[in-house]
Amino acid sequence: MLRSRVSVAILGAALVATACRDVPLTPSDNEVTGPSLSQSGASQGSESIQDRLASAVPGFGGFFFDNAGQPTAFLTDAANRGEAMRTLNAELRAMGLTRSDVRVLPAAHLWTDLARWHDAGTDAALSIDGVVWTDADESTNSVRVGVSDLAAMGLVRSELSRLGIPASAVEVQRAEPIVQVATLRDVIRPVQAGVQINFPGFLCSVGFNATLNGQASFVTASHCTTTQGGVEGTPYWQPLQSLAPTQIATEVADPVYTRRTLPGCPGGRRCRYSDAARAAYAVASNMALGVIAKTTGANNGSLTLNGTFNITADDCNTLGGCLAVGTQVAKVGRTTGWTQGNITNTCVNTGVSGSNIVQLCQTFVSAGVGGGDSGSDVIQILSGTSVKLAGVLWGGSSSGAQFVYSPLGNVKRELGALVTH
């Protein structure tokens, strides 16, 4: 949900836009969800389909669906096919399938033996450097071991043989290491730019990490505080207070909005050059200075982490920044991930509808955005993962196809000489 709307005047024409206001925290944000690990036929109990079939079918060696989707079973004795078909068809009906074209392959090993050998060998195998996984594999009628290091292959075979597992039942293959998959909405330590933060009742994104006079901090949007403009000591958690209850930071800098000493601020309005605030980390080591979370591709909606961007340069300290119309920039935020597009307008005086606030000299970008992306970093990708920090995102169009950001020069003018990398 978007909490506020902005109306924007460009060259005298009115353009209606929607601020990427912090997203209200809902009960579902406190839920940790993931793929179900249950097997088909779960209504029949916690026993797996392989174990049920092994109990009911003599000579059973494993059941799976092949690449074409055909149900396939391993049997040590083809004479048991009839009984196997009756049991397998009952399992298929429990899955909501009515097909009866079960293919039977000859099995060298009983499933019960494979499961027993796997259980016996797992601890020994996974203690060997380079072993990634072990599996009692119903699709190959074998105990399979994945290794990332070829030197581990011989060690695995030797160790499993020592445990009495026949060599004919063991398959060892190359496998890529398995890493934990995290998203912008997970617990990330140290904290990287672009990840989700939670302040009382709402969600936003970290813009960038920075130090000021040696104080470890992050910058986010001013409206991602308890009150936009002015310091109230807003507390922050990452990603959620319910998941990581230790407070990571406290708001320490957020200039008030005023029309005094700000040329161009319309009568009856309150203005600033940036929608930006700074929060100081409770523990300095929680800050990943110069590091921005990188997801698996641009403009595809992915929130899955895939390495990092690294800030190697800052945009100039001039009001409005030094990036010209037509320059491609990107942002990483907790709602829409990594999006990128071209700058369409620079130094735009932008009014926030429903309030008397005007953000002076802002930049517009033709790229995707959503509620909760407020506060996220805006960058220019220089080469590979090397990026130039351009500013802090705070708004976007009602269609979600355009975002608005405060250039870094504006942010530094109001928050000080921030060191960003």
Each residue of 106-139: pLDDT tens digit?
A: 999 999 999 999 999 988 898 898 988 889 999 9
Each residue of 71-111: pLDDT tens digit?
A: 889 999 888 788 778 888 887 787 777 666 788 999 999 99
Predicted pLDDT at 3: 27
- The type of residue at 176 is E
Between 136 and 24, whose confidence is greater?
A: 136
Sign of the four-CA dihedral 285, 286, 291, 295: positive
The residue with tokens 């936009």 is 228
Mean pLDDT on 32-46: 32
- Alpha-carbon distance of 124 to 32, in angstroms, equals 33
Mean pLDDT on 256-269: 85
Asked whether 170 and 136 are in contact (CB, 8 A), the reply is no
> For residue 285, is pLDDT > 60?
yes
Asked whether 5 and 353 are in contact (CB, 8 A), the reply is yes
Please provide the average confidence, as pLDDT, over all residues in the chain.
86
Tell me the DSSP string of 84-124: HHHHHHHHHHHTT------EEEE-SS-HHHHHHHHHHHHHH
Each residue of 312-321: pLDDT tens digit?
A: 999 999 999 9
Mean pLDDT on 222-244: 96
5-25+182-415 maps to CATH 2.130.10.30: no
- Alpha-carbon distance of 276 to 421, in angstroms, equals 18
Which of 141, 143, 136, 135 lies closest to 104 in space, CA to CA? 141
Residues of the chain with CATH 2.40.10.10: 5-25+182-415
Q: How confident is the model at residue 18 (pLDDT cuts 50, 70, 90)?
A: very low
- Determine which helix (DSSP H) or strand (DSSP E) holds 156, and give its type and residue range: helix 151-162
The CA dihedral of 293, 299, 300, 302, to the nearest 10 degrees, is 20
111-174 maps to CATH 2.40.40.20: no
0.75 cut: is pTM over it? no
Residues of the chain with CATH 3.30.300.50: 111-174
Classify each residue of 139-162 as buried b or exposed e, where b means 16 or more C-beta atoms within 10 Å of its C-beta: bbbbbbbbbeeeebbebbbebbee
Predicted pLDDT at 30: 47
